[in-house]
């Protein structure tokens, strides 16, 4: 008697990689896998502030990442389906077509992503399948956090100290050597960027020569950037001294867009830091790099703990003052046309490249909230639209922290942007670089 092989459908979400991918590793325990990416149209909806959630820079990076994934899968003998629509419709139907009994995917922990997950789960149930949501986003596995989620400390320092003392980072999982997909399964084409963007009323981004990096999506590019930043240029060894920079490719790692799309895992990055420490030296900079990855984790655990609350105006501080929603000042901020040249330079860099340094982000966020008196959620929404590295936990976590409504013991995180400009751009080089461009953005 011929029986059909047992198959799993693996749905790539923000885990667009083969290396150190726990959900994929789980799928590969089965005889055959069907691999799929879904371009969920919901991510190109307009939000309540009128911004299309995923702007053209991040869309480009996403399509490049999918293309790279497809090529890597093909090299291992597999195929990748690329579908467009709602996952709750597409995935159950694929499970039926390809006789899959299980769906595996990376677990997500922010409200919109959880909603999607729940809709998928119930639709998959209806066709008799089961779902496995597997952790893969964080450096420390959520089960290895030495406290219950309800008692997660509300300050990063307390969290970090406990983690450093009591938790270890799990080992990375190697990429598969081969992939066994159904023989009659043929890869889909990745949509053409211009055509895809046009369906949402967006146009292809142009590359500005002032961009800190060309930023190409995909796990292969992530590996190249890591190889360069850690091993060739050895910038990891001086990271703590340079990380507050504003100019050039190398003051910080620029890993964030690849991390946000899951082209590389935080565990893989940390394991390379530890390897660097063994080969050369462990110093303040190598320590600080993992420290920043812990901040990334912390915002994810805060998102898990508080759920939808972090997206509310007063987030974790119900007693805080309300801010306004003033459209003209907000539009000036978006367009880099405020009274503050340092803020303007940073906002122009964001609009032209989809990236802004951490120092820049802190200043423009503080300026919006504390100088212009505008509701932080408008700024966070613009960041969501523009950033290559947008992720809901890091973006919201940082915004509420600076707005003084997050997990920060200090009531006011106002930055003196003039002082900051003097400290970090004393000769005005950064402001000069970004001064020439009076942007006329489509302020949708």
Which residues contact ligand FAD (rule: CB under 6 A)?
243, 252-256, 259-260, 292-293, 295-296, 299, 357-358, 361-362, 365, 383, 387, 389-391, 394-395, 398-399, 402
Structure tokens at 389: 């590295």
To ligand FAD, the closest distance from the beta carbon of 190 in angstroms equals 24
Q: How far is CA 223 from CA 255, 261, 338, in A?
A: 10, 14, 38
Please check whether residue 417 is in contact with residue 342, taking contact to mean a CB–CB distance below 8 angstroms. Answer: yes
Q: Is 52 helix (H, G, I), strand (E, B) or coil?
A: strand
SS3 labels along 124-164? HHHCCCEEEEECCCCCCCHHHCCCCHHHCCCCHHHHHHHHH
To ligand FAD, the closest distance from the beta carbon of 293 in angstroms equals 5
Structure tokens at 44: 């190109």
**Of the two residues 36 and 145, which places its CB atom closer to ligand FAD in the complex?**
145
To ligand FAD, the closest distance from the beta carbon of 24 in angstroms equals 21
Alpha helices in 4-129 (DSSP H): 22-27, 56-75, 87-97, 111-126
What residues have CB less than 8 Å from 224, skipping those under 6 apart? none
**Of the two residues 58 and 83, which places its CB atom closer to ligand FAD in the complex?**
58
CA distance 406 to 397: 7
To ligand FAD, the closest distance from the beta carbon of 362 in angstroms equals 5
**Of the two residues 9 and 402, which places its CB atom closer to ligand FAD in the complex?**
402
To ligand FAD, the closest distance from the beta carbon of 269 in angstroms equals 8
**Of the two residues 92 and 379, which places its CB atom closer to ligand FAD in the complex?**
379
**Of the two residues 113 and 121, which places its CB atom closer to ligand FAD in the complex?**
113
**Of the two residues 30 and 398, which places its CB atom closer to ligand FAD in the complex?**
398
Give the count of beta carbons closer than 10 Å to the beta carbon of residue 75: 11
**Of the two residues 40 and 292, which places its CB atom closer to ligand FAD in the complex?**
292
To ligand FAD, the closest distance from the beta carbon of 142 in angstroms equals 17
- The enclosing H or E element of 81 equals strand 80-85
To ligand FAD, the closest distance from the beta carbon of 149 in angstroms equals 19
To ligand FAD, the closest distance from the beta carbon of 162 in angstroms equals 18
To ligand FAD, the closest distance from the beta carbon of 316 in angstroms equals 16
Which residue's entry shows tokens 């504390």?
A: 370
Please check whether residue 163 is in contact with residue 56, taking contact to mean a CB–CB distance below 8 angstroms. Answer: no
Please check whether residue 97 is in contact with residue 125, taking contact to mean a CB–CB distance below 8 angstroms. Answer: no
**Of the two residues 185 and 259, which places its CB atom closer to ligand FAD in the complex?**
259
CA distance 59 to 190: 12
Give the count of beta carbons closer than 10 Å to the beta carbon of residue 371: 18
Q: What is the dihedral of CA 110, 111, 115, 117, to 10 degrees?
A: 10
To ligand FAD, the closest distance from the beta carbon of 117 in angstroms equals 20
CA distance 8 to 20: 18
């Amino acid at each position: 008697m011929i029986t059909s092989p047992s198959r799993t459908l693996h749905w790539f979400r923000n885990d667009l990689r083969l290396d150190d991918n726990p959900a994929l590793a789980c799928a590969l325990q089965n005889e055959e896998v069907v691999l799929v990416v879904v371009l969920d149209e919901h991510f190109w909806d307009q939000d309540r502030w009128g911004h299309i959630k995923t702007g053209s820079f991040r869309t480009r990076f996403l399509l490049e990442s999918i293309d790279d994934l497809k090529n890597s899968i093909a090299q291992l003998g597999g195929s990748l389906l690329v579908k467009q629509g709602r996952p709750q419709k597409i995935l159950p139907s694929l499970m039926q077509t390809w006789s899959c009994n299980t769906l595996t995917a990376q677990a997500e922990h922010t409200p919109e992503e959880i909603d999607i997950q729940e809709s998928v789960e119930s639709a998959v149930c209806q066709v008799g399948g089961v779902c496995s949501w597997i952790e893969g986003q964080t450096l420390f596995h959520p089960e290895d956090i030495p406290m219950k989620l309800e008692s997660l400390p509300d300050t990063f320092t307390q969290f970090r100290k406990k983690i450093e003392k009591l938790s270890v980072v799990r080992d990375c999982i190697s990429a598969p050597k081969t992939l066994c997909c159904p023989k009659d399964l043929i890869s889909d084409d990745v949509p053409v960027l211009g055509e895809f963007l046009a369906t949402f009323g967006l146009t292809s981004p142009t590359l500005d020569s002032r961009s800190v990096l060309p930023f190409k999506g995909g796990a292969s590019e992530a590996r190249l950037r890591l190889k360069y930043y850690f091993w060739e240029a050895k910038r990891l060894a001086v990271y703590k001294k340079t990380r507050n920079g504003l100019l050039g490719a190398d003051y910080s790692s620029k890993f964030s867009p690849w991390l946000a799309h899951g082209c590389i895992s935080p565990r893989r990055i940390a394991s390379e830091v530890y390897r660097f420490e063994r080969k050369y030296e462990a110093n303040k900079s190598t320590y600080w790099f993992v420290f920043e990855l812990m901040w990334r984790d912390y915002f994810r655990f805060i998102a898990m703990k508080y759920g939808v609350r972090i997206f509310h105006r007063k987030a974790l501080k119900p007693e805080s003052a309300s801010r306004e929603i003033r459209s003209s000042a907000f539009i000036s901020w978006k367009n880099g046309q405020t009274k503050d040249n340092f803020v303007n330079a940073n906002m122009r860099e964001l609009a032209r490249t989809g990236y802004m340094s951490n120092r820049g982000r802190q200043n423009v966020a503080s300026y919006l909230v504390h100088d212009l008196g505008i509701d932080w959620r408008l700024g966070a929404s613009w960041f969501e639209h523009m950033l290559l590295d947008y992720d809901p936990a890091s973006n919201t976590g940082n915004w509420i922290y600076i707005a003084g409504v997050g997990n920060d013991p200090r009531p006011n995180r106002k930055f003196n942007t003039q002082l900051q400009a003097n400290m970090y751009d004393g000769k005005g080089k950064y402001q000069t670089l970004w001064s020439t461009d009076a942007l006329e953005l489509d302020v949708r």
